[in-house]
């Protein structure tokens, strides 16, 4: 694919970063669904890489956890062994985050010294580094919201943390694709650039609402499809006042928006595919549109089954992974239609 590409080593670096971000999202999903995210109650950038090693270390770490609302109000019956189980996922999530930081920073310094990164690529790489560093801050900012009064993180902060990870991946992937297909000729179709940009925005909004659903545990209610319970628009959607607050804070309202956006995403993809016969597209562009159709169908079905089965961990994680692949495919499609 990029065997003779002069930027081969930089491309591999960027794609490795994408792969690690994907792994972070998977582990983050498991951490959230197993309710493990508040098990590490402090943030130590370097010393935090070392987990408790002795029994005494574990007891001290568990005693710290006991001082916070999640233990006092929810997990007060936890044994040390049960605590170790939730600690594992949060520790692994943070550990991979640190590895990801090193994978981005160390090669960046090498490429800079070797003059393999300059000009526009230097600016793009700096943006990626800043986005990655900011993501680490957002992770701790999110966790802190569950260590004060309410033993659960803010769904707003959860959404910001998640979408920041997705957007960091999207931008890194975009830069990698720009290097892979730098000199590839392609038809200039402004119509598709405009509508795929719309699809990107709607998909991003849908992922944000997916985080809202997760943060509010909204997937555990109205576990029917296509109706929400016995109605297309149940009264609970507008139960709170003012009405608009239901669609960012209300469990039923947030689920309703998430369902609606899913249909809009599917409709946009079908629209783009149907319009493809109107334009003369190359193989990459055509295949990217077909890939979009396949991914959006799989993701749509995963969403339905995740809802119907009330979010078992494996389905919830798979659905989140599906969102990752959907955004990646949207970015790939955007890249295939970008101006040469």
Q: pLDDT (tens digit, 0 to 9) for every residue of the chain, 340 residues total?
A: 567 788 899 999 999 999 999 999 999 999 998 989 889 988 877 666 888 999 999 999 999 999 999 999 999 999 999 999 999 999 999 999 999 999 999 999 999 999 999 899 999 999 999 999 999 899 889 998 888 888 888 999 999 999 999 999 999 999 999 999 887 888 889 999 999 999 999 999 999 999 999 999 999 999 999 999 899 999 999 999 999 999 999 999 999 999 999 999 999 999 999 999 899 999 999 999 999 999 999 999 999 999 999 999 999 999 999 999 999 999 999 999 998 7
Question: How far, in Å, CA of 57 to CA of 264, rounded?
Answer: 51
Is the separation of the CB atoms in 2 and 11 below 8 Å?
A: yes
Q: What is the CA radius of gyration of the chain?
A: 22
pTM over 0.85: yes
Both tokens of residue 53? 């090693």
Backbone CA torsion sign across 278, 280, 281, 283: positive
Angle between helices 120-144 and 155-180 (to 10 degrees): 160
Please name which of 259, 202, 250 lies closest in space to residue 232, comparing C-alpha atoms: 259
Both tokens of residue 324? 């990752």
Owner of token pair 């930027």 = 7
Count of CB atoms within 10 A of residue 75's CB? Answer: 20
Half-sphere exposure of 198 (CA within 13 A, CB side): 14
Please name which of 255, 321, 300, 262 lies closest in space to residue 30, comparing C-alpha atoms: 321
Helix/strand/coil percentages in the chain, nearest 5: 75, 0, 25
């Amino acid at each position: 694919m990029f065997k003779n590409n002069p930027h081969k080593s930089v491309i591999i670096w960027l794609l490795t970063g994408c792969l690690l971000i994907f792994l972070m999202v998977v582990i983050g999903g498991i951490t959230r669904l197993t309710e493990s995210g508040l098990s590490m109650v402090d943030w130590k950038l370097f010393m935090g890489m070392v987990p408790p090693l002795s029994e005494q270390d574990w007891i001290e770490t568990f005693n710290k956890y006991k001082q916070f609302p999640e233990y006092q109000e929810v997990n007060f019956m936890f044994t040390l062994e049960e605590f170790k189980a939730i600690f594992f996922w949060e520790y692994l999530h943070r550990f991979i985050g640190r590895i990801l930081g090193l994978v981005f920073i160390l090669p960046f310094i090498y490429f800079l010294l070797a003059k393999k990164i300059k000009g526009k690529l230097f600016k793009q790489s700096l943006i990626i580094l800043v986005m990655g560093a900011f993501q680490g801050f957002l992770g701790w900012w999110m966790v802190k919201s569950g260590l004060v009064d309410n033993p659960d993180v803010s769904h707003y902060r959860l959404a910001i943390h998640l979408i920041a990870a997705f957007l960091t991946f999207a931008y890194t992937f975009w830069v990698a694709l720009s290097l892979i297909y730098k000199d590839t000729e392609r038809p200039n179709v402004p119509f598709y650039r405009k509508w795929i940009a719309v699809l990107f925005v709607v998909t991003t909004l849908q992922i944000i609402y997916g985080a809202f659903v997760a943060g509010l545990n909204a997937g555990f209610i109205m576990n029917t499809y296509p109706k929400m319970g016995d109605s297309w628009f149940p009264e609970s959607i507008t139960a709170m006042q003012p009405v608009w607050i239901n669609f960012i804070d209300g469990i039923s309202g947030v689920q309703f928006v998430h369902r609606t956006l899913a249909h809009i995403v599917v409709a946009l993809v079908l629209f783009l595919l149907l319009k493809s016969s109107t334009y003369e597209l190359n193989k990459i562009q055509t295949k990217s549109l077909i890939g979009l159709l396949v991914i959006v169908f799989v993701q749509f079905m995963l969403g339905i089954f995740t809802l119907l089965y009330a979010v078992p961990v494996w389905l919830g994680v798979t659905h989140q992974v599906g969102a990752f692949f959907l955004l990646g495919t949207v970015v790939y499609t955007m890249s295939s239609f970008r101006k040469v």
